[in-house]
Amino acid sequence: MLRASLHETGHELHARVIKEGCGTCGVPAGNDIRALVDACVLRDVDEYPDARVRTELRLGRDTADRIVMVAANFEMMNRLLDAIGVPVAAATTGLAAEMGLVIPEHLRP
């Protein structure tokens, strides 16, 4: 989805940078988005207020709300899928490799 969205807006995805957490991933305001998502997913109560304010100032309150909702929804889905041991879809193995992620043996297609 991210790759398709960027393509539509004329941007390029740098998937490895998303994993490594440095530089720019090709998404406008990507560093602000990443900081807010990290604060949400890691439950970082010290970083969250600052990340939230930076994102609101850069992208607006409604967008910051949506970022938090999407991050929370993905985190919930990942926990559910991990809990029941759903294998990773074969179509995503290329992206996982591009990002430098290793799919655990028991979750490989």
Contact 57, 79 (CB under 8 A): no
| 35, part of any domain | yes
68 within a domain of the structure (yes/no):
yes
On whether residue 108 sits in a domain, the answer given is no
Q: Is 11 helix (H, G, I), strand (E, B) or coil?
A: coil
pLDDT (tens digit per residue) in 14-60: 766 666 665 666 677 888 998 999 999 999 999 999 999 999 999 99
Instruction: Determine how many CB atoms are found less than 10 A away from the CB of residue 76.
Output: 10
Quick check: 1 pLDDT over 80?
A: no
SS3 at position 14: coil
pLDDT at 80: 87
C-alpha span between 52 and 55 (Å, rounded): 5
Q: Is residue 109 part of a domain?
A: no
The number of folded domains in the chain is 1
pLDDT, one tens digit per residue, over 69-95 is 999 998 898 888 888 888 888 888 888
Is the pTM here over 0.75, yes or no?
no
45 belongs to a structural domain: yes
Residue 64 has pLDDT above 80, yes or no: yes
Token pair recorded at residue 1: 């989805």
In which domain, by residue range, is 26 found? 2-101
Residue 62 lies in a domain: yes
Domain-located, residue 75: yes
In three-state secondary structure terms, 100 is coil
